[in-house]
Amino acid sequence: MSQPGAGRETSGATTGGLLRFVRARRGDEAVAEVIRRAGVAATPEELDDQSRWWTYEDRIALFAATTEVLDHPRAMFDVGAAVLQTGLAHSLVLLLRAMGSPRQVFRQLPRAVQKFSTTSTMEILEAGPTGATIRYRLHDGYRHSRLDCDYTQGLLSTVPQIFTLPAAEITHDECQSDGHAACVYHLTWHRRSRLPWRRRAALAVDPELLALRGQLQILQSAATDLVASEDVDTALERIVSRAAEAVLAPAYLLAVHAPGGGPPLVHGAGLPVERLPELAAALLGEEDLGPGAVVVDIASARRRHGRLAALYRSGDPAMGDEAAMLAAYAGHAAAALDLIIALEEARTEADRAGALLALSHELAAAADPAEVTELVAAALPRVVGCSRASLLLWDPGAGELRASSTAGMSEEQAALLAGSVLRPEDTPELVRMLTDRTPLTLDDATSSPGLRAVLRGIGSAHVVAVPLVAGTTFLGVATAGWQAGEAPASLVGDVQVRLRGVADQATTALQKARLLQTVRHQATHDALTGLPNRVLFLDRLTAAIAAADGRSHVAVLFCDLDRFKQVNDTLGHAAGDELLRQVSARLLAAVRPGDVVGRLSGDEFAVVLPGLAEPSDADGLAARIVDRFRDPFRLEGADARIGTSVGVAVHPRDGSTAEQLLRTADAAMYRRKHADRGAPARG
């Protein structure tokens, strides 16, 4: 049984070769039956993936199931003996062939075995021109299987065949299954015959030629597979997966510079996840990863993308010129990344163009500054490529800059920015933006103390800010921000151009929205006092009636000034206008915060009183207004005593609509004006 937690004990090259052998003899149904009987939770495609590793227990279960399905007790010897056609990686065949002779291969065989299994140790006791003695021991904690022993013998018999010699003959008298300390194999083979017909009869197909063809097919297939990737992340996963077909190793590491900047993109196989960032930094930094690493650059004529490493265990270095094989594959990977990145850049530009066009349409319909800032902040990440954005508006009266809208921030970060106030006297960067339209690059390390605190509070390590300036009028600031490690290599050039383009749209839209606000305000408010006019007053009254819940009451107070004509006649219209402004101020001071005061015409004012607990509460508010008019008004340097008559109407007692309530309150006011002084008249 495999050790607890073990998982990288048997290479996918072994399981893949096994399934190919079964498929060649019995078809796909037999392959499915082998997997079913073995109880291995994997698909044929997963078991055929050379970048995957499996447990020793999985391996033996597959061996046993294959023996049953093929109904042949020595099936595993045949599987091992057929690896040159079905199971041995083409790159390994080429490496072994380059060693020159079976003797040299057997001397290097212990290192080659580690490419397929981590549960056993092989020792070469003797290696000569026509024979070798090998000791093969399964590690403690695993139960030895004769099926594994048969498979190993089949593998060993193929070594002379790599050099077009007949298979080796094996004598096996000591087996670990019989209680021996290890399995010992004695192999013998014939020298190369000098007779050409015997050389031809030794092996029908040259394994080296077969491996070269297979390697070419793998490279072609890898190129097609990589180019077919839809995005960079998918391509990187496939690069790691395909690397196992170029060089068999226990682990792989790929680190690529992010195309748009930010932290590197890292993929690994056979490595602890928590170690990937550390190893990737060392790989990209060209640090020495040790003698067990085969490292190649993934680079094309256009750019250097990153590096790829095949990693072996300490004390188990690579065999032969595996770097050249991995480099050939890395060239395909670089070309594929060039194409995919170019396509992604094209898609990104198209997306940005679409976002700009959509923003233009949305801004054309925006009715107020708040809506403009929301739209612009939401569009900036797509257009600029930032992770967060904000729009801050300038309040010229208060002399301060405040956030209006944000995007890409948490609720806490957005709230912190909304509560921050930037003033020129505390923020040198703001002083510059008030006079200079040039984009400003900021960071959380070198900014002024107040701004630095804000940047760190919202998690923006780098920010590009563009002033929003209409002519000579400073409207605010548009910002694009990145968290630590996210920002592109350069925050000038394209980033600033895109941000400035959006800022120009925002400036135009803000001007238009503010103009619309002014026009709308003028259409609904009295020009002299700034109070709602009759149209807006009736709208507010209608809304208050609609919102009434039946447990509270809505009242209307209709106010008409006493002796207003006398002021106009004796002091002039300018004094009359000043009186009306003072009257509006007194009315606003007399009512509650939620009440609405409006000027209907001339010297007629009205008040909406929503949410009254009792109808009689309206009388109390009317009395308070009358009382406020007992103090004289100061006009033209003299006191002028102006009173007011107030009529009251309560919904629904005195009317069900806004117009009905206003007419009732108007009538009550006239009755009150001609009555003796006393409590305000009611309708």
Mean pLDDT across 245-260: 79
Mean pLDDT across 366-381: 90
Q: Which of 668, 669, 261, 180 is nearest to 482 (CA)?
A: 261
Per DSSP (E only), the strands in 96-152 are 120-127, 131-138
Query: Would the pLDDT of 681 be above 50?
Result: no
Domains and CATH numbers, the chain: 10-205 (3.90.1520.10), 210-343 (3.30.450.40), 366-521 (3.30.450.40), 534-673 (3.30.70.270)
Query: Would the pLDDT of 195 be above 50?
Result: no
Q: What is the pLDDT of residues 357-372, one digit of tens each?
A: 888 888 888 878 899 9
Question: CB of 241 within 8 A of CB of 222?
Answer: no
Q: Report residue 494's pLDDT band, with 50, 70 and 90 as the boundaries.
A: confident
Q: What is the pLDDT of residues 172-184, one digit of tens each?
A: 999 999 999 999 9
Q: Of residues 603, 619, 654, 666, which has the active-site annotation?
A: 603
Query: Would the pLDDT of 211 be above 70?
Result: no
Query: Would the pLDDT of 676 be above 80?
Result: no
For the chain, the average pLDDT equals 85
> How many whole angstroms separate alpha carbon 299 and alpha carbon 286?
14
Q: What is the pLDDT of residues 98-147, one digit of tens each?
A: 677 888 888 888 877 777 888 999 999 999 999 999 999 999 999 999 99
Query: Would the pLDDT of 52 be above 80?
Result: yes
Strand partners, 682: 648
Range in 196-210, 481-495, 498-512, 595-609 the model is least confident about: 196-210
pLDDT at site 228: 54
Q: Report residue 317's pLDDT band, with 50, 70 and 90 as the boundaries.
A: low
pLDDT at site 3: 38
Place of tokens 């040259």: 206
Instruction: For residue 434, give Cα distances in angstroms to 98, 231, 481, 633.
Output: 73, 43, 20, 42
Q: Report residue 520's pLDDT band, with 50, 70 and 90 as the boundaries.
A: confident
Query: Would the pLDDT of 335 be above 80?
Result: no
Range in 155-159, 428-432, 677-681 the model is least confident about: 677-681
Q: Report residue 328's pLDDT band, with 50, 70 and 90 as the boundaries.
A: confident
Q: What is the pLDDT of residues 12-46, one digit of tens each?
A: 889 999 999 999 999 999 999 999 999 999 999 99
pLDDT at site 207: 61
Q: How far apart are the first and last CA of the chain?
A: 97
Q: What is the pLDDT of residues 574-620, one digit of tens each?
A: 999 999 999 999 999 999 999 999 999 999 999 999 999 999 999 99
Contacts for 100-105 with beta carbons within 8 Å, 24 or more apart?
101/129, 101/163, 102/132, 102/159, 102/160, 102/162, 102/163, 102/165, 102/168, 102/189, 103/127, 103/128, 103/129, 103/132, 105/159, 105/162
Strand partners, 307: 255, 297
348 or 61, which is more confident? 61
Helix orientation angle between 411-418 and 449-458, rounded to the nearest 10 degrees:
160
pLDDT at site 203: 47
DSSP string, 291-312: TTEEEEEEE-SS-EEEEEEEE-
Contacts with 157 (C-beta within 8 Å, 6 or more apart), sequence order:
80, 81, 167, 168, 169, 170, 187
Question: CB of 659 within 8 A of CB of 667?
Answer: no
pLDDT at site 197: 47
> How many whole angstroms separate alpha carbon 504 and alpha carbon 374?
15
Q: Report residue 657's pLDDT band, with 50, 70 and 90 as the boundaries.
A: very high
Q: What is the pLDDT of residues 442-477, one digit of tens each?
A: 999 999 999 999 999 999 999 999 999 988 889 999
582 or 334, which is more confident? 582
pLDDT at site 318: 57
Residue 526 falls in the annotated catalytic set: no
Range in 328-332, 522-526, 581-585 the model is least confident about: 328-332
Q: Report residue 95's pLDDT band, with 50, 70 and 90 as the boundaries.
A: low
